[in-house]
Chains A and B, each alone.
Chain A
């Protein structure tokens, strides 16, 4: 540690820290525009000037390394004057159009001009104007407001891995652009809006909709992928206006995928806002009472084993718990949370988790991807892999993939084959990458759903697991065998045992008249046409997507923004979301619907409060009481997996789990913004991976 004296207060900071970090450690606020903790240091805004004793002039603290005994002064007349002068220069070409700027109220420039500026301008001359750029359907630009901090350039280059933005020309003519007008191809482009310290990059879909101080802010969890990104839902007047990420270094750092951020306009469209009942082949609006009664009548005399339940990808753990209990009460063991029919070892928690945790990527030193394209399946997690690649230095983080990625992964990848057959050569050590994994201290294997939803999933899974054992990926203190989930509800479902019980039917077997009554809890993404024509379908969910059209009874549920819920991310972290707004019309929280219905069929579930259902969840799996996270069970070596039967591996190439990143669930399919993205980006995600 290095001892630095900031305004007379000694602080200890790690060697290599910058003066700015030392000042922050001492609790001093340093104004800044270009400096960002998660980006490289540019040092071009000059706002962070401080005085260093014995230095001839003020220094930019963001790029000034600390030295032992260094004395920093942050609040002298020299510093104050320097800041005022820098602010005056920054404002020379900045239009003072705050009243019509979307950033107004949450603008760094506004705040810092107020805090550190002079309050008057001496500038009389004409200001420059810059042509706006078209960066696609998500990011709106007002380039005249840009102060050339280059945060966006560094973000796209470093974090997103799609170096498309740059600062062209120089001096008075310098501007941020893609040079050749084109839309940004990143799935993380929404974060540009957050990192832009001024109103140059703002959200296109929510332009001119509301002011930052009007929002009611609610902490929640993103359900568009299984990363469990921590988000804040900002609502006004019963409408979700926008979603921004919260900082959580163990999960999403401070990034959010575009789908999680911009799908919100789908929450207002195609909603199921009251119950429907099919009478004589046609759906009719009904009251809750009528819906429940008609469903209860239909269930009368149906034996338990002829009833089944299938859960979708966006469910909260509470509703899964309630539905499982209801099915058990009805005498059915036919429950499944895997609508895609994925295969995992469900005997142990570490059999289906991202065991090294998302933050474990930072420690990994070799990576094998099996049947997964993390860029589409979990963009934030992919950014973490890229961060690891950048941090480790040239060629120090070898990445290989089985299955040809459908898009550039933003880091160099060696493709070992398009199907699972490459596993054989890795297992017998004949491929060079087997040695790379073996020699790595913390090798990492990520198995995706492209591999787990095939007929030979079990063979791939066991082979991948054996490989992990063989290369020492499951050692003391490190478990590098990871499953990358794509469904936000999946791990919670597996944790709660929302799986076929004794003699119970799995998801695929419930179709084709396997059951008489099929309860779909937000399940839309499976081949609906395979549901037998005689099957009575109950659809409980929030969107009138594919399955609702097939349903005989529709029970309108709440979307993730409209209910307090528990979600477990791919790494097994239990996270709580709160209610931001109320569900539309007569729609209700899902577990309450199931609880109410249980009373109608005479199997009243033994809980009627949120705490009650959560206590029941903890009973089913104590993980819901302790909060999950980095628990010790993920580190244990696993049992319960047979030796791989390599002959079962087929040569079929892995297919992509996500065909269109912007259209993967009922909410994003209902969103016009996502539809527009799909139209713009649908053709090709051709981007350059470099630097």
Chain B
């Protein structure tokens, strides 16, 4: 059933680039020097984003974890533990775009199955966890993303695409394939989590003070 973690093809080396170094300095400044191990999660995320920038696949190779362990003076296994615990850290290479479909109850009730199907259809992926043949997309099943009022949610990398359905999903994937990133937010005529088509309550602007009835 479950199996041991299988190491992916690992790059030879990893070093933080200038942009990452700047971010690291900001992060490290938040912790006392003796407790800098607390910075492990931000640093892992910085490493993951840098890999995304550099290779088009936002994941954390072992060499990056070792580099972080060394920098934060902690045992390498402690970094591996953190990286493997959190699902938002990718320990395997992923596609250019990380499609994360929320399938928790509210999203599921609102049609996350359709979104999943559309993703699979548009990318040729057959099941969760896979990467498409062209290496552009990885489809992941995620738990509640905390945006239930805009269910169903499709998270692409860091952006939430909300109120999705089959057609909007396919359109989004087609756009991503073309190299454009549509603005995140609701796919329907809606502002944030306000009602569809505009406001439904508090339509009047400041009216007369309601009289107090006894």
Question: Which of A's residues lie within 8 Å of B, judged by CB?
Answer: 126-131, 133, 157, 163-170, 172-173, 175, 177-180, 394, 688, 690-691
* Option from B62, B78, B85 in Cβ contact (under 8 Å) with A170: B85
Residue of A133, A169, A179 near B77 (CB, 8 A) is: A179
Closest to B70 in A: A688
Rounded to whole Å, the gap between the CB of A177 and the closest CB of chain B is: 7
User: Given A126-B1, A163-B78, A170-B84, list of 14 further CB < 8 A pairs?
Assistant: A129-B2, A131-B4, A133-B4, A157-B75, A163-B75, A168-B84, A168-B85, A169-B5, A170-B85, A177-B4, A179-B5, A179-B80, A691-B75, A691-B78
Complex partner residue of A129 from B1, B7, B69, B77, CB under 8 angstroms: B1
| CB pair A128 B1 closer than 8 Å | yes
Contacts of B7 in A (CB 8 A): 180
* B2 x A130 contact (CB < 8 A): yes
Quick one: which of A163, A164, A168 contacts B5, CB cutoff 8 A? A168
User: Closest B-chain residue to A395, C-beta based?
Assistant: B34
- A selection of 20 A-B contacts at a CB cut-off of 8 Å is A129-B1, A130-B2, A130-B4, A131-B3, A131-B4, A133-B4, A163-B75, A163-B77, A164-B75, A164-B77, A166-B78, A166-B80, A169-B5, A169-B85, A177-B4, A179-B76, A179-B80, A180-B62, A394-B34, A688-B75
Q: Which of B65-99 contact A (CB under 8 A)?
A: 69, 73-78, 80-81, 84-85
Q: Which residues of B contact A (CB under 8 A)?
A: 1-5, 7, 34, 62, 69, 73-78, 80-81, 84-85
For B80, list chain A residues within 8 Å (CB). Answer: 166, 168, 179-180
> How far, in whole Å, are A167 and B74 apart by their CA atoms in the complex?
16
- With a cutoff of 8 Å between Cβ atoms, the chain B residues found around residue A175 in the complex are 2, 4-5
What chain A residues lie within 8 Å of B84 (beta carbons)?
A: 168-170, 179
CB–CB A177/B5 < 8 A: yes
On chain B, the residues within 8 Å of A129 by CB distance are 1-3
When C-beta atoms are compared, the residue in chain A nearest to B86 turns out to be A170
**Shortest Cβ distance from A689 into B: residue:** B75
A688 to B76, CA, bound (A): 8
Report Cα–Cα, A178/B34, bound state, in Å. Answer: 26
With A169-B84, A169-B85 as given contacts, are A128 and B75 in contact (CB-CB < 8 Å)? no
* Closest-CB distance, B6 to chain A (whole angstroms): 9
**Complex interface: chain A residues within 8 A of B78 (CB):** 163, 166, 691
Question: In the bound complex, do residue B81 and residue A166 qualify as a contact, i.e. CB atoms below 8 Å apart?
Answer: yes
Chain A min CB distance to B68 (Å): 13
Report how far A167 CA is from B80 CA in the complex, Å.
Answer: 9
Q: In the complex the two chains form, is B75's CB within 8 Å of A690's CB?
A: yes
Q: A166-B81, A180-B7, A394-B34 are in contact. Are A172 and B75 (CB under 8 A)?
A: no
* Complex Cα–Cα for A168 and B84 (A): 6
With the chains together, A178 CA to B76 CA distance in Å? Answer: 10
The CA of A690 and the CA of B77, in the complex, are separated in Å by: 11
Which of chain B's residues has its CB closest to A165's CB?
B77
**In the complex, chain A residues whose CB is within 8 Å of the CB of B81:** 166-168
Q: Inside 8 A of B85's CB, which chain A residues have their CB?
A: 168-170
Residues of B within 8 Å of A394, CB to CB, are 34
A157: which B residues are within 8 A, CB to CB? 75
Min CB gap B147→A, angstroms: 23
List the B side residues contacting A128 at CB < 8 Å.
Answer: 1-2
In the assembled complex, the Cα of A169 lies from the Cα of B5 at a distance in Å of 8
Residue of A nearest to B75 (CB): A163
- In angstroms, Cα B73 to Cα A131, docked, is 30
A129 to B4, CA, bound (A): 9
- In the complex, what's the smallest C-beta–C-beta distance from B5 to chain A, in angstroms? 6
Using CB atoms, name the residue of chain B closest to A132.
B4
Q: A166 and B2 in contact (CB under 8 A), knowing A180-B7, A180-B62, A394-B34?
A: no
In the assembled complex, how far is the CB of residue A362 from the closest CB belonging to chain B, in whole angstroms? 24
Instruction: Kindly provide the distance from the CB of B41 to the nearest chain A CB, expressed in whole angstroms.
Output: 14
**Pair A178/B2 contact, Cβ less than 8 Å:** no
Measured between C-beta atoms, what is the minimum distance from B134 to chain A in Å? Answer: 29
A165 to B80, CA, bound (A): 10
Residue of B at shortest CB range from A687? B75
Q: Across chains A and B, which 10 residue pairs bring their CB atoms closest together, nearest first? A: A131-B4, A163-B75, A166-B77, A168-B84, A179-B80, A166-B81, A169-B84, A128-B1, A690-B75, A170-B85
Residue of B nearest to A127 (CB): B1
Given A168-B84, A169-B84, A170-B85, also A178-B77 (CB < 8 A): yes
CB pair A690 B34 closer than 8 Å: no
A409 smallest CB distance to B (angstroms): 15
A166 contacts which chain B residues (CB < 8 A)? 77-78, 80-81
When distances are taken between beta carbons in the complex, the residues of chain A under 8 Å from B1 are 126-129
Is B2 a contact partner of A691 (Cβ separation < 8 A)?
no
Chain A contacts for B5, CB-based, 8 A: 168-169, 175, 177, 179
The CA-CA distance from A39 to B85 in the complex, in Å, is: 23
